[in-house]
Amino acid sequence: MSNSSDISKLTIGVVGAGTMGRGIVQLFAQAGHRVYCFDAQPGASAKAVDYVASMIGRGVEKGRITAEQFGEIQGRMQACDVMSQLRGCDVVVEAIVEDLEVKRKLFQELEAVVGDNAILASNTSSLTVADIAAACARPQQVAGLHFFNPVPLMKVAEVIAAVRTSPQTVETLKGITQGAGHRAVVTADQPGFLINHAGRGLYTEGLRIVEEQIASPSDVDDVLREAMGFRMGPFELLDLTGLDVSSKVMASIYEQFQQEPRFRPSSLVAPRVAAGLFGRKSGEGWYRYDADGKKVTPQSRVKTTFPAGLAVWIDPHASCAAVLRDLAVTAGARVVADGREADLAIMQPWGHDATASALLVGLDPARCVAVDPMTPLEVRRTVMLTATTTPEARDAAVALFCSDGVPVTLVNDSAGFIAQRVMATIVNIACNIAQRGIASVADLEDAVQLGLGYPRGPLAWGDQIGASRILTILRAQQEATGDPRYRPSPWLVRRADLGLPLVTPDAAR
C-alpha cells in the first residue's frame, strides 16, 4: 500500500464500468480517493466516468456541493484504456460479469499489474470468494467487497473474509467503506454472505404459505407490508427483481448450503419461470401490470353484514380479549361466556392452527375461527378458518372483523398465521447466522436493516415478539409438517430456555 497509515486518500481501481462499477467509482471519488476506472469494452470506462460526473454534477445544481468541490472530485476520477494504468492502485474493486473463470483470469492479470501490497476485492454477489482467491498468488490480499444497487444510496457493504484473507485486508476494506459513509459489515465467505442469507426467510416461507394454499400472494404481501412494516411483501419483491433472476439465487443458495431444507426453493417457481411470468419486466408475475407498469390490484372480497344478536364467544386467554369483546359488542353481537353456546367462537393462538385450538378448548371447529395475535388489530386482521368452519361462521367472522373499517385477510388453517410463520422463519435463520458466527450480532442487525430495509434487526425483532413464542411457532410447524426446515436453531433454543435475549453482546457469546 502506498500510504498504509492513511487510508482516507488511497488510489482505488474499479474494474467493470457497468451498473455497480459506476456506483463504486462515484462513492470512492466523493470520499476523497483517486479512482481509476477500467473496462474491457473500449470507451466504456470514459462513458462511465462522464456518467458519474453528471450524477455528481446534479449535487451542484441542488446546492449540495460547490462547483469547486465538484471540480476536485472530477479531477480524482480517471478512465483507463489499458489495465496497466491500474499499476499504482492500493485497492482494486472488481465489478465485472458474474462468471468465476472470467473473474479468476482477471484477478491473475491484476496481480501481475499492481504492487505487492495491493488489495484485490470482488463485488461478486453469488460466487465463493475463496474460489476467486485460489487463482491468486497472494490470497491473503483478496476479499469480497459486496455493494448493493444503487451503490451511493444503499449505505451498506459486506466485507467478505475468505478463508485465507488477512485481518489487515479486512480492516483496510472496512476502513475505506466506512470512510465513504457506508456501514461495513464483515461476513464469512458463506452462501449469500450475510444479507442475501438473512433475506431468504421472507421468500421461502411466503412461497410455502402460498404453496400450501393458506393464503394468496397478495394476502401474504398485504399482511407483511401493512401489519409487520416490511416495505414490500415477498411476491412484490419477486416481481420487482424478476423471478428469472430470483429463482437462480434461490437455487444457488440452496445448493451451496448442501441442500439445507431451510432454503429449499418452492416447486411453484419453475413452472412460472418457464411460462415467462417473471414479474414487472414481463408484464405479469404474481401480479399483473398495466401498460404503465402499475400493479393491477386483485379484487377484494364482497363485504357481508354482521347478523345482529349472533352469539359470539371470545377465548378469555386471547391476547386481545378485551379489544375483541368491545368490537363484538359494537358490531351488535351477544357475547356469551360459554363457548358451547356460541354461533361463532374466536381464539388467538400462537403456533397452533385453528382446528387444533378449537379441539384444545373442546369446541366444535365448525363454529370457530382464529385471529392472529401477532399483527396489530387496528391495522389489519388475519382471520384463520378451521378445516370445517361453516360459510355462515366464516361470513359472520369477516363481517365482524371489518365492521369498524379495518381490512381483513382470510386464511386457511395453518400452524402459525402468515406473519407468525414468516417472522419465525426470519428470526430462526438470523439465529443460525449468529450461531455459526457468519457475522457479529451487531453487523447482522445493521446489515438487515440497511441492506433489506426491514424495520428492525431480526434478532431484536425476535426479542420483541419473544424468543419462546418464536420457538413455539417453529415447533408447531415442525410437528404439523414434519419438515426439518422448521427445526429451531440452537441459538434460539438455548436463549428461549434460559429467558435470555437473542441480541447478545458480541463479547458475551
Active site amino acids = 125, 146, 158, 196
Determine if 322 is a binding residue for ligand NAI (CB under 6 A): no
The three cell numbers locating residue 351 = 403456533
Q: Under the criterion CB under 6 A, does residue 39 sit at the interface with ligand NAI?
A: yes
Q: Which three cell numbers stand for residue 329?
A: 359488542
Between 123 and 382, CB nearer to ligand NAI: 123
Q: Does 453 bind ligand NAI (CB under 6 A)?
A: no
Q: Is 21 in the site for ligand NAI (CB under 6 A)?
A: yes
Select the span of 33-41, 194-202, 276-284, 292-300 touching ligand NAI (CB under 6 A): 33-41
Residue pair 201/422 in contact by the 8 Å Cβ criterion: yes
d(CA 498, CA 296): 48
**What CA–CA distance (Å, rounded) separates 87 from 199?**
38
If you count them, how many residues does the chain have?
A: 509
Q: At 365, list the grid cell.
A: 371447529
What track of x and - describes contact with ligand NAI for positions 137 through 156 (by CB under 6 A)? -----------xx-------
Which one among 2, 41, 108, 213 touches ligand NAI, defined by CB under 6 A? Answer: 41
Chain-centroid distance of CA 210 in Å reads 18
> How many C-beta neighbours within 10 Å does residue 139 have?
21
Contact between 314 and ligand NAI per CB under 6 A: no
Which stretch, 50-58, 121-129, 260-268, 479-487, contacts ligand NAI (CB under 6 A)?
121-129
Nearest to 470 by CA among 440, 503, 508, 431: 431
**What is the smallest separation between the CB atom of 31 and ligand NAI, expressed in angstroms?**
19
What is the rounded CA–CA span in Å between residue 49 and residue 231? Answer: 33
**CA 494 to the chain's CA centroid:** 25
CB-wise, 98 or 326, nearer to ligand NAI?
A: 98
- Interface residue with ligand NAI among 18, 88, 242, 376 (CB under 6 A) is 18
The residue whose Cβ lies closest to ligand NAI is 18
In the bound state with ligand NAI, the residue whose beta carbon lies nearer, of 20 and 73, is 20
Start-to-end CA distance of the chain, whole Å, equals 35
Among 1, 12, 15, 377, binds ligand NAI (CB under 6 A): 15
Sign of CA dihedral 9, 11, 16, 18: positive
| Alpha-carbon distances, residue 488 vs 6, 203, 435, 465 (angstroms) | 45, 18, 11, 16
**DSSP conformation class of 506:** G
For ligand NAI, give the closer residue by CB, 255 or 497.
255
CB-based contact 244:271 (threshold 8 Å) = no
Instruction: Tell me the pairing of strands 91-94 and 34-38.
Output: unpaired
> What does 290-320 look like in DSSP terms, one character per residue?
-TTS-EEPPPPPPP----TT-EEEE-TTSTT
Residues in binding contact with ligand NAI, number by CB under 6 A: 22
Among 10, 11, 12, 16, binds ligand NAI (CB under 6 A): 16
By CB under 6 A, which span of 10-18, 133-141, 284-292, 327-335 interacts with ligand NAI?
A: 10-18
State the nearest-atom distance from the C-beta of 271 to ligand NAI, in Å. Answer: 26
Do 279 and 295 contact (CB within 8 A), yes or no? no
Q: Is 96 in the site for ligand NAI (CB under 6 A)?
A: yes
Does the footprint of ligand NAI cover residue 98 (CB under 6 A)? Answer: yes
Residue owning grid cell 486518500: 9
Nearer to ligand NAI, 17 or 408 (CB): 17
Contact call for residue 97 and ligand NAI (CB under 6 A): yes
Q: Which is nearer to ligand NAI, 160 or 347 (by Cβ)? A: 160
Span from 95-103, 170-178, 405-413, 501-509 in contact with ligand NAI (CB under 6 A): 95-103
Examine residue 117 and tell whether it contacts ligand NAI (CB under 6 A): no
- Residue 12, SS3? strand
Report if residue 204 touches ligand NAI, rule: CB under 6 A: no
By CB under 6 A, the residues from 366 to 385 that bind ligand NAI are: none
125 counts as binding ligand NAI under rule CB under 6 A:
yes
Could you tell me the three cell numbers for 434?
Answer: 449468529
Shortest CB 150 distance to ligand NAI, Å: 8
- Rule CB under 6 A: is residue 252 a binding residue for ligand NAI? no
**Residue 270 binds to ligand NAI (criterion: CB under 6 A):** no
- Nearer Cβ to ligand NAI (97/322): 97
Please give the grid coordinates belonging to residue 138.
Answer: 497472494
| Cα gap 490→35, rounded to integer Å | 45
Whether the CB-CB separation of 475 and 488 falls below 8 Å is answered with yes
Which residues bind to ligand NAI, rule: CB under 6 A? 15-21, 39-41, 44, 95-98, 102, 106, 123-125, 148-149
